[in-house]
C-alpha cells in the first residue's frame, strides 16, 4: 500500500519536473528569433514584426563543474501543498455552483452559450449568438430543453436577452467587474464546439480593452483573459474565485499571418456593462441609456478614407454639417483611414462630448466640423 504522503509528493513533484523541462526547452530554443510583440489592430492581434536581432545560445558554453552542486528539493513545503489543494477545492466548488446557471442556446444557424439571469427565466447571452432569430432551443445542464423567445438585443455591445419558462432555475450572481485586477484567476464556462458544460481556466490578462468584432463593431471596456475561448463559448460565463460572473466570453483574437485564433488571448464583455444593457432590455426590450457615443452616419471604406454613405435625419452629424459623400479624415486629431479606425475612436468618447471632424467634401474642399455627440440608441 502506498503511503498517502508519498502519493501526494509524487503528484506535486510532477508539475515541478515539468517546469524544469519547460525551462530547459526554453533555453534550447534560444537560437530562434525572439517572439515579436503583439499589437491590437482593429480588435485583432497581429504580429508587429520580427526582432531583427535574434537571441542565440553562445557556442562556447562553460564546462560543467567537476563537483556537482547539492541537489535542491523540488517538493513544496506542506503549507504550499495545502494552499494548492485549497485552491483546487475552491475551483471545483465554483464549477459545481455555476454549472446549472450556464445553458446551451441553439438557433437555425448554430449554437452558443447563455447565463441564467433571474428566476423569471431571463438568460443573458451575446447578440451574435441570437443573430436574427426570434425563437430558440435552450438546454439546461440537466439535459432538459425548453423553447426560448427573444426579449431584446443590442448589437453595439453584443448583448442580448432571451427568456424561457422553466421550474427551479438557478440564476448566476453577477459580480462587479470594476473590482477585477490583472492577474485574478478566472474560469470560462460554456459549450465550446458543442461540448456542454466545459470549463477552461486562466487569468485576467488586461482590462478596459477596446476591440473590434469581425462585423466591424467596436466593444468598449472589454476584459482580456488567457482562459481559452472557442466557438460555442460565446455568451457563457467568465467567473471569478468568488463564484460570481464577471464577464461574458465573446470572442478570441485571431492572427491573420498564421491563421486561426491566437492561443491564450480571449475577450469577454464586462459584467457591469452586460448588466446595464440586460436590465434595460428586460425592462423595455430596448436600450435607452447605452453610454455610447453616437454620430448618426452610415459609413464605408474607400480608397481615399472613410466615406459617408448617409446621414440620419436630426443626428449629431447632420446638425454638425456632415453630408453624404463627405470623407472623414480625422476625429479630434486622430486619423480615420478606415471605418474600424473611426469606430475605435468613437468607442473612447462619451455622449455629450465635442468632436472635431476634419472632412473633405465631394468637391474636394476641406473643412473642420464641430459635432456634439449623441447617445447611441438601441
Asked if the 293-375 domain carries CATH number 2.30.42.10, the reply is yes
Query: Which of 4-8, 261-265, 342-346, 348-352 has the least mean pLDDT?
Result: 4-8
- Give me the catalytic one of 46, 101, 113, 128: 128
Tell me, what's the pLDDT at 48? 31
Instruction: Give pLDDT, residue 75.
Output: 54
pLDDT surpasses 50 at 298 = yes
d(CA 11, CA 124) in angstroms, rounded, equals 40
Please, where are the H alpha helices in 99-205? Answer: 127-130
**How confident is the prediction for the chain on average, in pLDDT?**
81
327: cell is 470623407
Q: Half-sphere exposure of residue 116, counting CA atoms within 13 Å on the CB side?
A: 25
Checking if the pLDDT of 328 tops 60, the result is yes
Is residue 184 very low, low, confident or very high in pLDDT (cuts 50, 70, 90)?
A: very high
Percent pLDDT > 90 in the chain is 59
State the pLDDT at residue 262. Answer: 82
For residues 134 and 227, what is the distance between their CA atoms, to the nearest angstrom? Answer: 31
Ramachandran region of residue 314, left (φ > 0), alpha (ψ -120 to 50) or beta?
Answer: left
pLDDT at residue 26 tops 60: no
b/e burial code for range 229-265 (CB count within 10 A of at least 16 → b): bbebbbbbbbbbeebbbbbbbbbbbbbeeeeebbebb
112, β-bridge pairs: 105
For residues 200 and 265, is the Cβ–Cβ distance under 8 A? no
**pLDDT number for residue 2:** 40
Looking at the domain covering 177-271, what would its CATH class be? Answer: mainly beta
Task: Report which of residues 59 and 281 the model is more confident about.
Answer: 281
Is 128 assigned a catalytic role? yes
Q: pLDDT, tens digit, for every residue of 220-271? A: 889 999 999 989 999 999 999 999 999 999 999 887 777 777 889 999 999 9
Q: Given the residues 133, 234, 261, 270, select the one marked as catalytic.
A: 234
Give the pLDDT mean for 280-289.
Answer: 94
361 is catalytic: no
Residue 363 has pLDDT above 80, yes or no: yes
The length of the chain is 378
- Every domain of the chain and the residues it spans: 177-271, 293-375
pLDDT at 77 (0 to 100): 66
Q: Which of 137-146, 247-256, 257-266, 320-329 has the lowest mean pLDDT?
A: 257-266
Side-chain half-sphere CA neighbours of 22 within 13 A: 6
Alpha helices, DSSP H, located in the chain: 4-28, 78-98, 127-130, 271-284, 316-320, 339-346
Ramachandran assignment for 126, one of left (phi > 0), alpha (psi -120 to 50 degrees), beta (any other): beta
At residue 44, the pLDDT reads 28
108: pLDDT strictly greater than 50: yes
- Identify the H or E element spanning 107: strand 102-107
Decide if 33 is catalytic: no
Q: Tell me, what's the pLDDT at 243?
A: 95
The predicted pLDDT at position 378 comes to 74
8-state DSSP, 191:
-
Mean pLDDT, range 177-181, rounded to an integer:
96
Q: Catalytic residue among 101, 153, 158, 226, which? A: 158
Q: What is the per-residue pLDDT for 261?
A: 75
pLDDT of residue 72: 53
The alpha-helical segments, DSSP class H, found in 124-264 are 127-130
Dist. CA 99–CA 35, nearest whole Å: 38
Exposure string over 178-209, b if 16+ CB within 10 A, otherwise e: eebeeebbbbbbbbbeeebbbbbebebbebeb
Distance separating alpha carbons of residues 315 and 333, to the nearest angstrom: 22
Looking at the predicted structure, is the pLDDT value of residue 79 above 90? no
Is pLDDT larger for residue 315 or for residue 23? 315
Please tell me the least confidently modeled range out of 37-51, 111-125, 164-178, 223-237: 37-51
Report, as an integer, the average pLDDT of 355-365.
Answer: 93
Q: How confident is the model at residue 14 (pLDDT cuts 50, 70, 90)?
A: very low
In our burial notation (b when 16+ CB lie closer than 10 A, e otherwise), range 64-78 reads eeeeeeeeeeeebee
Rounded to whole angstroms, the Cα distance separating 129 from 250 reads 9
Q: What is the pLDDT of residue 340?
A: 83
Using left for φ > 0, alpha for ψ between -120 and 50, and beta otherwise, residue 243 falls in left
Amino acid at each position: 500500500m502506498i503511503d498517502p504522503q508519498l502519493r501526494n509528493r509524487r503528484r506535486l513533484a510532477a508539475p515541478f519536473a515539468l517546469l524544469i523541462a519547460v525551462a530547459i526547452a526554453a533555453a534550447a530554443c534560444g537560437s530562434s528569433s525572439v517572439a515579436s510583440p503583439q499589437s491590437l489592430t482593429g480588435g485583432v492581434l497581429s504580429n508587429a514584426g520580427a526582432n531583427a536581432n535574434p537571441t542565440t545560445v553562445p557556442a562556447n558554453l562553460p564546462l560543467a563543474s567537476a563537483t556537482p552542486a547539492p541537489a535542491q528539493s523540488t517538493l513544496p513545503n506542506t503549507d504550499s501543498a495545502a494552499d494548492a489543494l485549497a485552491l483546487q477545492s475552491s475551483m471545483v466548488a465554483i464549477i459545481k455552483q455555476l454549472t446549472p446557471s450556464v445553458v446551451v442556446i441553439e438557433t437555425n444557424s448554430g449554437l452558443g452559450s447563455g447565463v441564467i439571469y433571474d428566476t423569471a427565466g431571463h438568460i443573458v447571452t451575446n447578440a451574435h449568438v441570437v443573430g436574427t432569430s426570434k425563437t430558440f432551443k435552450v438546454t439546461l445542464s440537466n439535459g432538459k430543453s425548453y423553447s426560448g423567445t427573444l426579449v431584446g438585443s443590442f448589437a453595439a455591445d453584443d448583448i442580448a436577452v432571451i427568456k424561457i419558462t422553466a421550474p427551479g432555475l438557478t440564476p448566476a450572481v453577477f459580480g462587479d467587474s470594476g473590482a477585477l485586477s490583472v492577474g485574478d484567476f478566472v474560469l470560462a464556462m460554456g459549450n465550446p464546439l458543442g461540448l456542454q458544460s466545459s470549463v477552461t481556466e486562466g487569468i485576467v490578462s488586461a482590462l478596459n480593452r477596446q476591440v473590434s468584432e469581425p462585423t466591424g463593431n467596436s466593444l468598449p471596456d472589454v476584459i482580456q483573459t488567457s482562459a481559452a475561448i472557442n466557438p460555442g463559448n460565446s455568451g457563457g460565463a467568465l467567473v471569478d474565485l468568488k463564484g460570481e460572473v464577471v464577464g461574458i466570453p465573446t470572442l478570441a483574437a485571431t492572427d491573420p499571418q498564421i491563421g486561426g485564433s491566437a492561443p491564450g488571448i480571449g475577450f469577454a464583455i464586462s459584467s457591469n456593462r452586460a448588466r446595464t444593457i440586460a436590465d434595460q432590455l428586460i425592462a423595455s426590450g430596448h436600450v435607452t441609456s447605452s453610454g455610447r457615443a453616437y454620430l448618426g452616419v452610415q459609413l464605408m471604406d474607400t480608397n481615399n478614407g472613410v466615406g459617408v454613405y448617409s446621414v440620419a435625419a436630426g443626428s449629431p452629424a447632420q446638425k454638425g454639417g456632415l453630408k453624404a459623400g463627405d470623407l472623414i479624415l480625422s476625429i479630434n486629431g486622430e486619423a480615420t483611414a478606415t471605418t474600424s479606425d473611426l469606430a475605435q475612436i468613437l468607442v473612447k468618447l462619451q455622449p455629450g462630448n465635442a468632436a472635431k471632424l476634419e472632412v473633405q467634401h465631394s468637391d474636394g474642399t476641406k473643412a473642420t466640423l464641430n459635432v456634439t455627440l449623441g447617445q447611441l440608441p438601441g
